[in-house]
């Protein structure tokens, strides 16, 4: 680890102001950043510790949803009875990630901004456009089993690792931020992440020093919520594919569906194609299969991760069957 300066912020405005400078990073739980600093993949000159800021509450909103503070730990969000009753999808997704010790430290804002676990991003002996812009992408021709199949580019095929963000995407969450200039803005979670294109080192639309203050959950859409995760072992592993679904069924027809995939793209992949295919469809495995075909139509495998395309179709089918109560 390289030496760095440390500043404990006592208010939001000064935290944003001091983090607007180059090579300054916010730190909260540190469950991802500290590991990256040990490997010198991240080498900030200064850390601004935001853990004392008043952003750790979960409150009701006027529209009937919840506002989850950026510093609410993953554990605190997953054990909150309002989250468990109204957004079971989110509790499930959070509990699917990491381990209790990590969830006790990891925060809501940090979870959204965690970096990819692409093996070549972590391997400093290999080229990586995300780690060293312009150096190339070793994953394209490498062991890319964990990498993305949708929405990525030939400069970067890294996948976003979060489970929590996949559920939040299905729930139409909005991310509230504050900029160093003091202005607040609200970003739909689906617009938070930037496609890699030829600048994969720029991962979000946040500007330097812009701080996530909370995540807004609108009132839950009607329907059954299910999070399903497929991984190499039963616990403490990142998703190969995950699905966050809300399925509303009446008279054996789908009234509404919301679908997002994890493990397939640089962001949680909301599938308008799958949702459109489902609306009005009969509640059958064939309909659910057709939704998967629609969702993965533009997917591209890179060799070792080709299996993710049929796996994602089948995982969606199984998730929807579970949500619809098909046995």
What is the closest distance, in whole angstroms, from the C-beta atom of residue 312 to another protein in the complex? 19
Q: Please say which residue, 240 or 278, places its beta carbon nearer to another protein.
A: 240
What is the closest distance, in whole angstroms, from the C-beta atom of residue 142 to another protein in the complex? 8
91 binds another protein (CB under 8 A): yes
Q: Please say which residue, 81 or 184, places its beta carbon nearer to another protein.
A: 81
136 binds another protein (CB under 8 A): no
What is the closest distance, in whole angstroms, from the C-beta atom of residue 231 to another protein in the complex? 11
What is the closest distance, in whole angstroms, from the C-beta atom of residue 67 to another protein in the complex? 20
Which of 12, 20, 122, 290 is in the footprint of another protein by CB under 8 A?
Answer: 122
What is the closest distance, in whole angstroms, from the C-beta atom of residue 192 to another protein in the complex? 23
Positions 235 through 264 that interact with another protein (CB under 8 A):
235-236
What is the closest distance, in whole angstroms, from the C-beta atom of residue 324 to another protein in the complex? 17
Print the SS3 string covering the chain: CCCCEEEECCCHHHHHHHHCCCCEEEECCCCCHHHHHHCCCCCCCEEEECCCCCCCCEEECCCCCEEEECCCEHHHHHHCHHHHHHCHHHHHHHHHCCCHHHHHHCEHHHHHHCCCCCHHHHCCCCCECCCCCCCCECCCCCCCCCCCCCCCECCECCCCCCCHHHHHHHCCCEEEEECCCCCEEEEEHHHCECCCCCCCCCCECCCCCCEEEEEEECCCCCCEEEEEEECCCCCCCCCCEEEEEEEEEECCEEEEEEEEEECCCCCCEECHHHHHHHCCCECCHHHHHHHHHHHCCCCCCCCCCCCHHHHHHHHHHHHHHHHHCCC
117 binds another protein (CB under 8 A): yes
Which of 5, 52, 85, 285 is in the footprint of another protein by CB under 8 A?
Answer: 85
**What phi, psi does 102 have (nearest 5°)?**
-70, -40
Q: Please say which residue, 75 or 108, places its beta carbon nearer to another protein.
A: 75
62 binds another protein (CB under 8 A): no
Q: Please say which residue, 147 or 287, places its beta carbon nearer to another protein.
A: 147
Tokens 């400078």 sit on residue: 21
4 binds another protein (CB under 8 A): no
What is the closest distance, in whole angstroms, from the C-beta atom of residue 172 to another protein in the complex? 20
- CA–CA gap between residue 3 and residue 37 (Å, rounded): 10
92 binds another protein (CB under 8 A): yes
125 binds another protein (CB under 8 A): no
Q: Which residues bind another protein (CB under 8 A)?
A: 32, 35, 75, 78-79, 81, 84-85, 88, 91-92, 95-96, 98-102, 117, 119, 122-123, 143, 145, 232, 234-236
């Amino acid at each position: 680890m390289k030496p760095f300066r440390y500043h404990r912020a006592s208010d939001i405005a000064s935290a944003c102001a001091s983090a607007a400078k180059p090579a300054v990073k916010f730190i909260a739980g540190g469950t991802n950043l500290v590991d990256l600093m040990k490997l010198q993949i991240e080498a900030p000159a200064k850390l601004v510790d935001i853990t004392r800021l008043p952003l750790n509450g979960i409150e009701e909103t006027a529209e009937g949803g919840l506002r989850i503070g950026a510093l609410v730990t993953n554990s605190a969000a997953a054990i909150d009875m309002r989250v468990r009753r109204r957004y079971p999808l989110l509790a499930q997704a959070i509990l699917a990630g990491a381990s209790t010790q990590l969830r006790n430290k990891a925060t809501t804002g940090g979870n959204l901004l965690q970096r990819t676990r692409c093996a070549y991003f972590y391997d400093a002996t290999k080229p990586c456009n995300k780690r060293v812009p312009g150096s190339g992408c070793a994953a394209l021709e490498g062991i890319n089993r964990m990498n993305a199949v949708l929405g990525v580019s030939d400069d970067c095929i890294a996948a976003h690792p979060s489970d929590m963000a996949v559920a939040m995407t299905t729930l139409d969450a909005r991310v509230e931020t504050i900029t160093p200039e003091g202005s607040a803005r609200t970003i739909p979670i689906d617009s938070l992440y930037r496609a890699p294109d030829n600048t994969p080192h720029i991962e979000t639309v946040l500007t330097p020093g812009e701080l996530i203050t909370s995540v807004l959950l609108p009132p839950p859409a009607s329907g059954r919520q299910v999070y399903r995760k497929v991984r190499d072992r039963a616990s403490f592993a990142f998703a190969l594919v995950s699905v966050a679904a809300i399925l509303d069924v009446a008279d054996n027809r789908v009234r509404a569906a919301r679908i997002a995939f994890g493990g397939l793209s640089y962001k949680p992949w909301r599938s308008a194609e799958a949702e459109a295919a489902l609306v009005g469809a009969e509640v059958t495995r064939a309909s659910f299969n057709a939704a998967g075909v629609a969702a993965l139509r533009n997917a591209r495998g890179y060799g070792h991760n080709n299996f993710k395309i049929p796996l994602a179709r089948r995982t969606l089918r199984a998730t929807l069957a579970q949500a619809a109560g098909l046995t």
